[in-house]
Structures are given as C-alpha cells and as structure tokens.
Structure 1
Amino acid sequence: MRLGVIDVGSNTVHLLIVDAHPGASPVPHHSERSVLRLMRFIDDDGAITDEGQRMLVEAIGGAARTVAEIGVDDVMATATSAIREAANGDAVLARITRETGVELRVLTGDDEARITMLAVRRWFGWSAGEILLFDIGGGSFEIAQGADEYPDAQVSLPLGAGRATINFLRDDPPPREAVSRLRAHARAAFTEARDAIFADRPAPTRVVGTSKTIRSIGRLVGGPADPLTGAPAPIHYAGLKEWEPTMREMPSDVRQYLPGITPERSYQILAGAILLRTAMKVFDVSTLTVSPWALREGLVLRYIDGLD
C-alpha cells in the first residue's frame, strides 16, 4: 500500500510518501519539504504570528495537493513542538484544517521519543542491545533509552536547535559569551535529566542520533557515508569539539558551504552542534551512530504493524 506522512516540524513541513506492507521495509516513493523556520514567527506571548500561520497553511496545502496528485491509500499528518507549545496552538490547528482540509495530530514529546525509538530499533535490530537515543528537533531535544522497540525512559526538553539559536545565539556570528551561556544552560538541563530519569538505566551498548540536524553534523564531522552500505559515518566527540570553534567564527551564510550543511540548516547548525556536544559530554558518549530512520519512518512502521 502507499502511505503519506505530512510532518509539521519547527523548521520544515516535510512530506514523505512510501510504499509499504507488513513484514517489509518501507520503500520511499516521493519526498518534498518546505522550509519555514517557524520559531522565527513566535511572538512575545508565545503565539504563532499571522505570517507564520499563512506560511503553514501554504506549505501544508501544497503537501496535501501533492498527496492528491500522486494518490495514497492513507495519510498521516502530525505536528510537533512548535504548534504543541504555541499559545494559540488550537486556533492554528483549526485554521489549518479549515483552509487545507488537513487535520493534524499533535504529538507529545514522549510520543516523538517513542515513535523515533521504534524506527531506530527496526533499523539497527535487536543485536544493538541497550540503545541511548538523541533526537534534535527545531524546538525540542528528545532523549530516550531502552532495550526494546519502545523506550523504558524518555524525556523531551525545550532545547531544539532553532529555539536555542533564537534564545541564545541571535548575533551572527555569536560572541563567545553567548555560546558559553547556551552551553551552561544545556549542561544543566541534560544533567538534571540524566540524574532524574536515566540514572538507573544500564550503560548503553549503542548511542544513536537522529534528525536532519544530526545527519548534517555527521556529514561535516564524520565524512561521507559508507560507499558500499550507505551507512552514515559515526560522529566522534573529539571531531565535534574540533569543528565547533570553526563554525562559531563563521556567519550563517558562510556555514552553508561547509560539507553536509544545507542553506536551510546553516543558521541553526551551530546551536545543534553545541547541544549535541554537550549531551555527549554529560552522558559520557565518545561515539554516536547516525540513524537514517527517525520519526516519519516510525509513524509508517507503527501504522503497518497495526495492519498485520
């Protein structure tokens, strides 16, 4: 069967269409995205501005038209932290449905962690053992851990790469003091989560990162994917530490020329690198494996599981 996923995140509206059936790996058929950087359109009261709403309607409406043109058996439409945490989130959802016909399901942070862990487990298999997962979004940072398809411990922190850029790194490039403030804030949040939620978990046998931000960092720090298997190169803490000062000294319009960094990610990639490096430090991670599968693939897998 052919399935569509419309994923409304803090940075992009991403449409993924796959061919899938029980017992088989989903096969991508079509993918497209619209870059919004929605965190820029949050006002002082925490509401999504009218301009941000218009951009959402346009992007989601475009995805819906593509779905209709290609034809799918079913479509899932989800929203994450930007709409979830917006002061006017319910009104925005109602407007999107009214003007596009698309009804978005708002995922909680725990939903994101659980569904992403399912995708990661299916990608790496049971032999991966105890997995510790880092997922950097535009508005939130999910951490999950467990030995099964769903995590035994998870947390969603308001520490996405876009949010951190707006809250801490407004200057381009940012001064050292701003970087230090972000690092200190992230260290405190990650340490509190580690001690309160993950202290009783066994040491992970594999640490995995997902999301476009982490994949971009992986291409910069780790190099190209394996030419035989297509597997992304791992991210080493030492390599990330070495690259961070270089990115810090560059304005965002120059960072886009770095290996693996796309123009739409260049403005927030520094914050993403700082957050990832800090999380690796707090959780004592020297090497992180990058997963090609994440939330969208997890949504497809969970849907297909329900058919079997």
Structure 2
Amino acid sequence: MRLGVLDVGSNTVHLLVVDAHRGARPLPAHSHKAELRLAELVDADGAIGREGVDRLVATVTEAVGAAEDKGCQDVLAFATSAVREAANADHVLARVRAETGADLQVLSGADEARLTFLAARRWFGWSAGKLLVLDIGGGSLEVGYGLDEAPDAAVSLPLGAGRLTAGRLPGDPPDAADVRELRRHVRAEIARTVGEFSRLGSPDRTVATSKTFRQLARIGGAARSAEGPYAQRRLSRSSLEEWVPRLAAMTVEQRAALPGVSIERAPQLLAGALVAEAAMDLYGVDELEICPWALREGVILRRLDLMPAT
C-alpha cells in the first residue's frame, strides 16, 4: 500500500510518501517539506501566534494535497514538541482539523524516543545488540536505550536546536557568555538522566538520527547525502570538540558555507553541536553512527506492525 506520513515538527512540516507492506522495507516514493520553524513562532505566553497557525494550516493543506496527488491510501499525521507544548495546542489542532481534514496526533516526548528507537533497531538489526539512540530535533532531544524493539529507557528533554537558538543565542555570532551559559544549561539537563541509562550497562552500539547529527557528521568529513543511505557515516566526540569553538565564532552566513549545511539550518547548528557534544560526553560515547531512519520511519513501521496479516 502507499502511505503518507505527515510530520509537523519544530523545524519543518514534512510529508514522506512510501510504498510499504508488512514485513518489507518501506520504499520512499515522494518527499515534500517546508521550513516553518514553529519553535521560533511562539509568543511570550507560550502560544503559537496567529501568523504561525495560518502558515501551518496553509502548509498542511499543501501537504495533504500532495499526498492525494501521489495516491496515498492513508496519511499518518502527527505533531511533536512545538505543538505539544504550545499553550494554544487545542486551538491549533482544531483549526488544522477543520480547515485541512488532517487529524494531527500529538506524540509525547517518550513516544518520539520509542518510535525513533524502533526505526534504528530495524535499520541496524538484532546483531547491533544493546542500542543507545540519540535524536536532536528542533524542539527536543530524545534518547532511547535497549536490547529489544522497545527501549528499556526513553527520555525527552527540551534541548532542541531551534528552541535553544531562539531562546538563548540571539547574537550573530553569539556572545561568548551566552555560549558558556547555554553549555552549562545543556549539560545540567542531560546529567539528570545519566543515571537512568548508566544502570543498564554500556551499549554495544551508539547511533544518532536527525538533520543536526547528519550535518555535524558531514562537516567532520562524513559522506555526502548524494552517496545514499547505505554509505557509513560516523561522528566522533573529538571532531565535535574541535568544531564547537569554531562554530561559535562563525556568523550564520559562514556556517551556511560549510559542506552539507543549509541556510535554513545554519542558525541552529551551534546549539545542536553543543547538545551533541554534551550528550556524547556525559553518556560516555567516543563515536557514533548516523542512522538514516528516524521518527517518520518509526511511525510507518509501527503502523505496518499493527496491520492484519494477509
């Protein structure tokens, strides 16, 4: 069957169309995305402003039309931290439903971590052993750890690259004091969760998903996206330790000139690097692998798992 997955994230609204059936690898057929950066459109009261809601409705309308044009039999629509944490989330969801027909399901942070973990487990397989999976989104950091398809521990922290950039790094380039304060904040937040994971023992394999990790691996010398999903990509903590001070000294324009970094994501790259470096350090990770599957694939896989056998 042909499925559409509509992901309303903190940075982008992304429609992924796949051809899939139970027991088979989902095959991408079409991708449609728009950069909204909802995490940066929240007002002082914690609500998504009228302009942001209008843009979201227009973007979802376009994505629903694209799914119909591509012949999707079903569209799995979900929203993550930007909508989940908005003070006017009910209003936003009601408007989207009324004006687009899309019934956005709001995932909890723990659900994001679990579904991302499922995608990584299916990609690497059982031979990967105990997995530690990291994902940096626009609004949150998800961490999952376990031996099976469901993680034994899963947490979500408000450490997304977009959220931190908008709230804590106003300068271009940012002030050194702001960078130091953000570094302290990120490490304190992650440190609260270390005990929950360390009691489970050392992972056999550590992997990361998300655009942020892919860009950090790319500037560290990993393969280009054009080389396909099967090219092995790694990111080392030593590379991050080298790049963080360099990124902190760069303007957004200079970051956008780095290999694999888009102008849309360049402002967030430093915050993402600080979160990645802190996570690798505090969880005791020297090197990790980049997984091409993430939350959207996890949603697809869970849907296929629940389909009756034919």
TM-score (norm 2): 0.96
Q: Deviations over 1:132-188 (max 9, x none)?
A: 111101011011100011100011101100011112111111111111111111111
**Which stretches of structure 1, 4 residues or more, deviate above 2 A after TM superposition?**
225-232
Give 1:175's aligned amino acid.
D
Taking a change above 3 Å as real, the CA distance of residues 127 and 164 of structure 1, as seen in their structure-2 partners, is same
- The aligned amino acid for 1:208 is V
Match of residue 255 from structure 2? 255
Matched, 1:84 2:80: no
Deviations 1:107-138 (A, max 9, x none): 00011011111100000000111111111010
- 1:229-268 equivalences under 5 Å are 230-268=230-268
Distance 1:40 1:296 in 2: 22
The 5 Å alignment of 1:43-54 reads: 43-54=43-54
Residue type of the alignment partner of 1:121: R
**Secondary structure, aligned partner of 1:34:** strand
Partner of 1:36: 36
Identity of aligned residues (%): 50
Contact (CA 8 Å) 1:225, 1:233: kept in 2 or not?
A: no
The answer (yes or no) to whether the contact 2:132–2:206 under 8 Å persists in 1 is yes
Return the offset for 1:232: 3.9
Secondary structure at the residue paired with 1:67? helix
Question: What's 1:137 paired with?
Answer: 137
Three-state SS of the structure 2 residue aligned to 1:267 is: helix
**Cα distance between partner residues in 2 of 1:38 and 1:274:** 21
Match of 1:201 in 2: 200
Equivalent in the alignment of 1:290: 290
Opposite residue 286 of structure 2, the aligned amino acid is S
Distance 2:25 2:54 in 1: 36
Deviates more, 1:259-268 or 1:221-230: 221-230
Aligned Cα root-mean-square deviation (Å): 1.3
Q: Using the alignment, how far apart are the partners of 1:297 and 1:105 within structure 2? A: 16
TM-score (norm 1): 0.97
CA contact (8 A) 1:218 1:232 kept: no
Q: Which segments of 5 or more consecutive residues in structure 2 lack a partner in the other structure? A: none
1:117 matched residue in structure 2: 117
Query: Which structure 2 residues correspond to residues 88-103 of structure 1 after superposition, within 5 A?
Result: 88-103=88-103
Which structure 1 segments of 5+ residues have no match?
none
Match of 1:184 in 2: 184
Aligned residues: 307
8 Å contact from structure 1 (residues 219, 232) kept in 2: no
- Are residues 198 and 229 of structure 1, via their aligned partners in 2, closer, same or farther at CA, if it must alter by over 3 Å? closer
Amino acid at match of 1:215: R
1:22 Cα deviation after fit: 1.4
What is the deviation of 1:71?
1.1
Of 227-236 and 210-219, more deviation after overlay is shown by: 227-236
Counterpart secondary structure, 1:31: strand
Moved more, 94-103 or 248-257: 248-257
* Worse-matched range after superposition: 167-176 or 293-302: 167-176
The verdict on how the C-alpha distance between 1:229 and 1:301 changes in structure 2, with shifts beyond 3 A counting, is closer
**Which whole-Å CA distance do the structure 2 matches of 1:74 and 1:41 have between them?**
30
1:225 CA drift (Å): 5.0
Structure 1 stretch displaced more, 146-155 or 216-225: 216-225
- How far apart in 2 are the matches of 1:124 and 1:225? 20
